[in-house]
Structure 1
Amino acid sequence: MTDAPERALVVMAHPDDADFSCAGTVALWAEAGTEVVYLMVTDGEAGGDELTLDSSEIAAMRREEQRRAAAEVGVKDVRFLGYPDGRVVASLDLRRDIARVIRQVRPERVVTLSPERDWDSIAASHPDHMAAGEAAINAVFPDARNPHAHRELLTEEGLAPWTVAQVWVVGGPKPHHPSDITDVFERKMAALAAHESQIGDITELEPMVRQWMAANAAEAGLPAGRLAETFRIINTA
């Protein structure tokens, strides 16, 4: 199941997490007909260094930026859970809320952040990232498939259990699956450019992202000149 699935759910902590980590792969899937849904645990209201706007204004701005970014790679359905940015924990409530969306979307594949700290890339190991990843993994197994978990989802909301076949993990140690995004790299950059509040100059960021994707491709043994996002694929069916 490394080809494009029929449905995929991308669970991230903040607006822009998906665009840094997997937007190229999402663009490839969307081109192939995959119905992709983005689920952001927070609105990203604690992002950026400026304090000229209040949290609600920042949240609204970042939600709109994420919707524009998603559109650049073919994603029309972007959802937000509204948990507090910078204070995410892998709570039962968060597990339930992610399991709810899994049962609604019924994806074959979930993409999410690593719950493991990567000591070689500390920036990828934001506490919100690890907490969102932990909650998402637990929502996949056992919560979304277990009729006894969060019973209100079934008895009050009519959401039948759903088993996700695969989880693709980003941002953690030891990724083993490269996704060649060379042909859609410009779309990934267009998605990143939508996050104007977080990225001052996209022309400065582009060489860094290109170098990062090239290093991923080289490490995976892809031909010179190719660019890749990398994942750890976990079979969860």
Structure 2
Amino acid sequence: MKFDDALEINSALAIFAHPDDNEWNSGGTIASWVRQGVEVNLVLVTNGASGSSDPEMTREKLKEIRMVEQRQAADVLGVKEVVTLGFEDGYLYPDLELRKAVAREIRRFRPDVVLTHSTERLMADFYANHPDHVAVGEVVLRSINPDASSGLMFPELWKEEGFEPFLPNAVFIGTFGFGPVFTDITETVDQKIEALKHHRSQVESPDEIETFVRERFKQIAKDQPYEYSESFHILRTNVV
């Protein structure tokens, strides 16, 4: 798939902190790319075990529920493989263990592009970015330079596990409406909504989710030549 004059995308790796982050940030874009023949895989960094205020819920039970929900949502979008790294939800820090785990998956999948979180803490006047999101976004950027791309970083990944250094051509950083690059999800917004509804443990009212998604992502597209949009900052790593 030709994204623009400088970027060809045949494979993509989404790297997000929690179950449902992928769908919120880039579900419509991913569904659109899959329709155009792009292979998309997902790396889920945490187990999602903190996402409930139900006094009867346990972390172990919620973890199992959310993994099932994520696989169902991924199927709606056409995601091929879901890899769960299993870090504890709510406790992420961009330390060496997390950096190595993410670098391993980038080297394993060798995608043309990576999609991930913004490292900005304040995303909008109604949303403070979760610290796990910030940590994952930071780790992905560190993977681009140097963790996944340098043979001298985590050399055991190459020498012992066989994962050669690799540099994707671009990173799509979700900006939740603040551009500067907007993707057309008009044909796939229904898939985005359906995927989000599969996260039943996080959705009090499916109707309210649908209304919010349509209103929010229509607003994001207000200055674009299409009805619904997601937005990204694109870091182009292949520019010399």
Under a length normalisation based on structure 1, what TM-score does the superposition of the two structures give?
0.94
Alignment match, 1:142: 146
Q: 2:83 aligns with which of 79, 83, 105?
A: 79
1:13-162 to 2 correspondences below 5 Å: 13-118=17-122, 120-121=124-125, 123-162=127-166
Deviations 1:31-57 (A, max 9, x none): 111111111110110002113122111
* DSSP 3-state at the match of 2:79: coil
Distance 1:173 1:212 in 2: 8
Distance 2:206 2:128 in 1: 20
Report the equivalent of 1:227.
228
Q: Secondary structure at the match of 2:124?
A: coil
2:172 aligned with 1:193: no
Tell me the percent identity.
36
- TM-score w.r.t. structure 2 length? 0.93
Match of 2:12 in 1: 8
The Cα of 1:115 is off from its aligned counterpart by: 1.0
1:156-175 → structure 2 map (5 Å cutoff): 156-171=160-175, 174-175=178-179
In structure 2, list runs of 5 or more residues that go unmatched: none
Q: Distance in 2 between matches of 1:211 and 1:48?
A: 25
Distance 2:77 2:162 in 1: 32
CA distance in structure 2 between the aligned counterparts of 1:148 and 1:173, rounded to whole angstroms: 37
Distance 1:171 1:19 in 2: 13
Deviation digits for residues 84-106 of structure 1 (CA, Å, limit 9, x no counterpart):
10111111111110110001100
Once residues 175 and 118 of structure 2 are traced to their aligned partners in structure 1, the CA distance between those partners, rounded to angstroms, is: 6
- Do the aligned partners of residues 98 and 168 (structure 1) sit closer, same or farther apart at CA in structure 2, a change above 3 Å counting? same
Equivalenced residues, count: 234
Q: Note closer, same or farther for the CA distance 1:72–1:171 as it changes in structure 2 (3 Å cut).
A: same
Pairwise CA distance, 1:129:
0.5
- Aligned Cα root-mean-square deviation (Å): 1.6
Distance in structure 2 (CA, Å) of the matches to 1:189 and 1:172:
15
User: For residues 163-188 of structure 1, what are the alpha-carbon distances to aligned partners after superposition, in whole Å with 9 as ceiling and x for unaligned?
Assistant: 11100001378421111101111100
8 Å CA contact retained: 1:114, 1:172: no
Return 5+ residue gaps in structure 1 as ranges: none
Q: Distance in 2 between matches of 1:101 and 1:154?
A: 12
Equivalent residues of 1:103, 1:144 under 8 A apart:
yes
- Contact 2:49-2:59 at 8 Å conserved across structures: yes
* Residue identity matched to 2:224: L
SS of the residue corresponding to residue 179 of structure 1 reads: strand
1:214 and 1:184 map into 2 onto residues whose CA distance is: 13
